[in-house]
């Protein structure tokens, strides 16, 4: 086949690539639908089981387990092979889903959510690695464009499906709807993913480093819930120290969880991972606080607040589809630099729009933020996948979604600290919200500025993007 035309959308559906496309898309759909099913049904879960006071921990334990699962995905893929690792992850995810669907207490729900997170983390990270392994480099941006469409569809279809099932039957049925998807995904993996030779020798699982990662993210999560300012700062400092220590130990280890140049500003992979971390970290201020501000400052209900969040998802998907047709290295490099700039601009605009109650400006800001992710994410991912050092492609690719999730987790904790320092109280009075919103969104723009700086250090190999 002529390489000059291998970058067209229809090539994702050829007999050779269609099974791989279906596998990767179903893995991402499993992750996306579960996210929106949980956000829709969890209020019903905690009311029935008496866990309103710990509703946040249903997401926290899932996120922590997902980060641990994602961090171990590259290691598992290399040691066991992608096929058994993904099938096992799907089984763990299904077991967690069953535990939640049959739960009679919040303890069972939290255990189930942890199992879901562990399986989900491996699935998403391993699917990222499969994108680089199963698709030609020229098609990678289109694969990520397709995954963005999956997320947009899930953003609308997930809450609708979960809401209908919860209202007509039970929230338990809504959760259990994930199980057929998990089984279908496992079946596709068994049929599509090629067998890979296992690494000879005894498998040594780095439980210590995985436990340290979980502990570091847990400290971040606790910091986000704490109200005492010195305690929050101390927890965040301890979390950063633990996570940095994990990377230091991992670099000296034989069985690595991360690429050897992870987060090194002197390497392409390291600089790109900083962008992948800082963009979600910055956007976490909007994800966490915008619905709250829209309801308690602007007087909107949950539906309208959710619609503003949906704007970001739609803009992300639309932008990802547009840039998937880029055919020159220059334009690809521009999108990598433009993405963080757009996120920074959107958050800076939100620092004006939210306290001033400017609907039109906030809509524009949400579009700008979403489009910023959309134009850059595919090429950022491609940069990591293709610039990884020999033997580290799996760990580098798998670290992408894990870094993204860690960015949101760290951002939620940091903006909790900023919100507290800015005087945001449980009373949620308009003057306090107005003042705090300026600081929160301005701080988000400042973090995005860091992503802008690292973005200018990211390059793409000339061979990755075909010349026009």
388 and 250 co-located in one domain: no
Taking phi over 0 as left and psi of -120 to 50 as alpha, with beta for the rest, 38 belongs to alpha
Indicate whether 212 pLDDT > 80.
yes
Indicate whether 265 pLDDT > 80.
yes
Question: Per the domain annotation, does 200 fall within a domain?
Answer: no
388 and 373 co-located in one domain: yes
Highest mean pLDDT range out of 68-82, 98-112, 149-163, 405-419? 98-112
pLDDT at 3: 47
Select from 60, 45, 50, 160 the least CA-distant residue to 100: 45
For residues 283 and 374, what is the distance between their CA atoms, to the nearest angstrom? 13
The neighbour count for residue 390, using CB atoms within 10 Å, is: 5
Tell me if 405 sits within 8 A of 70, measured CB to CB.
yes
Tell me if 219 sits within 8 A of 235, measured CB to CB.
yes
Give the least confident one: 22-26, 186-190, 264-268, 288-292.
288-292
171 and 221 co-located in one domain: no
Contact residues for 133 (Cβ-Cβ < 8 A; gap 6+): 82, 393
Question: Per the domain annotation, does 145 fall within a domain?
Answer: yes
Indicate whether 32 pLDDT > 60.
yes
Contact residues for 455 (Cβ-Cβ < 8 A; gap 6+): 271, 275, 336, 337, 339, 340, 341, 376
Q: What percent of the chain has pLDDT over 90?
A: 31
Tokens of 276: 């992948």
For residues 249 and 246, what is the distance between their CA atoms, to the nearest angstrom? 5
Question: Per the domain annotation, does 37 fall within a domain?
Answer: yes
In which residue are the tokens 């580098």 written? Answer: 396
**pTM across the whole model:** 0.82
339 and 434 co-located in one domain: yes
pLDDT at 136: 85
Give the least confident one: 199-203, 403-407, 415-419.
199-203
pLDDT at 5: 46
Tell me if 221 sits within 8 A of 406, measured CB to CB.
no
The neighbour count for residue 340, using CB atoms within 10 Å, is: 28
pLDDT of 309-343, one tens digit each?
Answer: 778 888 988 998 888 888 777 888 899 999 999 99
137 and 269 co-located in one domain: no
pLDDT at 52: 65
Question: Per the domain annotation, does 10 fall within a domain?
Answer: no
173 and 34 co-located in one domain: yes
Give the least confident one: 93-102, 176-185, 410-419.
410-419
pLDDT at 2: 43
Burial class (CB in 10 A: 0-12, 13-18, 19+), 327: middle
Count the residues in the chain.
468
417 and 450 co-located in one domain: yes
Provide the pLDDT confidence category of residue 182 given band limits of 50, 70 and 90: very high
Question: Per the domain annotation, does 435 fall within a domain?
Answer: yes
Tell me if 117 sits within 8 A of 89, measured CB to CB.
no
Question: Per the domain annotation, does 2 fall within a domain?
Answer: no
Provide the pLDDT confidence category of residue 1 given band limits of 50, 70 and 90: very low
Contact residues for 311 (Cβ-Cβ < 8 A; gap 6+): 363, 366, 367, 370
User: What would the mean pLDDT of 392-400 be, rounded to a whole number?
Assistant: 82
Question: Per the domain annotation, does 247 fall within a domain?
Answer: yes
Tokens of 397: 């690719």
Q: Which residue has the higher pLDDT, 464 or 18?
A: 18
25 and 153 co-located in one domain: yes
285 and 407 co-located in one domain: yes
Provide the pLDDT confidence category of residue 372 given band limits of 50, 70 and 90: very high
Question: Per the domain annotation, does 116 fall within a domain?
Answer: yes
Residue-range definition of the domain harbouring residue 401 = 261-468
pLDDT of 121-165, one tens digit each?
Answer: 999 988 888 888 888 888 888 888 888 888 878 877 777 788 888
Highest mean pLDDT range out of 4-8, 53-57, 359-363? 359-363
Provide the pLDDT confidence category of residue 468 given band limits of 50, 70 and 90: very low
245 and 152 co-located in one domain: no
Tokens of 245: 């220590």
174 and 228 co-located in one domain: no
Q: How many domains does the chain have?
A: 3
pLDDT at 303: 66
pLDDT at 367: 96
pLDDT at 202: 57
In which residue are the tokens 């909007």 written? Answer: 286
Q: Among the three residues 194, 217, 239, which one is the final residue of a domain in this structure?
A: 194
Tell me if 404 sits within 8 A of 348, measured CB to CB.
no
Half-sphere exposure of 4 (CA within 13 A, CB side): 2
156 and 225 co-located in one domain: no
CATH number, domain at 273? 1.20.1250.20
User: What would the mean pLDDT of 284-301 be, rounded to a whole number?
Assistant: 83
């Amino acid at each position: 086949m002529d390489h000059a035309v291998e970058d067209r959308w229809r090539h994702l559906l050829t007999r050779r690539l269609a099974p791989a496309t279906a596998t990767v898309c179903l893995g991402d759909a499993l992750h996306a639908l579960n996210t929106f099913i949980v956000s829709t049904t969890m209020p019903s879960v905690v009311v029935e089981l008496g866990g309103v006071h710990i509703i946040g921990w249903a997401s926290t334990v899932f996120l922590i387990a997902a980060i641990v699962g994602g961090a171990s995905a590259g290691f598992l893929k290399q040691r066991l092979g992608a096929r058994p690792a993904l099938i096992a992850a799907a089984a763990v995810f299904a077991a967690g889903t069953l535990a939640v669907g049959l739960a009679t207490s919040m303890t069972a729900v939290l255990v189930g959510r942890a199992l879901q997170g562990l399986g989900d983390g491996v699935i998403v990270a391993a699917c990222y690695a499969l994108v680089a392994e199963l698709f030609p480099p020229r098609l990678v941006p289109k694969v990520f464009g397709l995954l963005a469409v999956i997320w947009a569809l899930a953003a609308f279809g997930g809450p609708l499906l979960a809401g209908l099932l919860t209202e007509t039957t039970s929230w338990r049925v809504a959760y259990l709807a994930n199980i057929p998807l998990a089984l279908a995904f496992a079946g596709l993996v068994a049929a599509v993913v090629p067998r890979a030779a296992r690494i000879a020798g005894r498998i040594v699982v780095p439980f210590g480093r995985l436990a340290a990662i979980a502990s570091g993210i847990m400290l971040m999560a606790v910091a986000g819930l704490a109200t005492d300012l010195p305690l929050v700062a101390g927890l965040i400092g301890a979390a950063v120290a633990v996570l940095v220590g994990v990377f230091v130990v991992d670099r000296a280890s034989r069985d690595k969880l991360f690429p050897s140049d992870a987060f090194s500003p002197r390497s392409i992979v390291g600089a790109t991972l900083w962008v992948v971390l800082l963009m979600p970290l910055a956007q976490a201020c909007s994800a966490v606080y915008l619905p709250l501000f829209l309801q308690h400052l602007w007087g909107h209900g949950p539906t309208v607040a959710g619609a503003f969040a949906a704007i970001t998802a739609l803009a992300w998907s639309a932008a990802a589809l547009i840039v998937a047709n880029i055919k020159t290295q220059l334009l690809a490099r521009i999108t990598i630099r433009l993405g963080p700039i757009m996120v920074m601009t959107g958050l800076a605009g939100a620092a004006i729009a939210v306290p001033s109650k400017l609907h039109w400006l906030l809509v524009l800001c949400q579009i700008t933020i979403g489009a910023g992710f959309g134009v850059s994410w595919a090429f950022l991912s491609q940069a990591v996948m293709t610039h990884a050092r020999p033997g580290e492609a799996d760990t580098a690719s798998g670290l992408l979604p894990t870094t993204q999730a860690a960015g949101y987790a760290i951002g939620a904790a940091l903006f909790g600290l900023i919100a507290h320092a800015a005087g945001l109280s449980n009373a949620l009075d308009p003057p306090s919200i107005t003042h705090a919103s300026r600081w929160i969104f301005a701080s988000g723009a400042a973090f995005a500025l860091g992503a802008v700086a690292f973005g200018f250090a990211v390059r793409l190999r000339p061979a990755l993007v075909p010349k026009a």
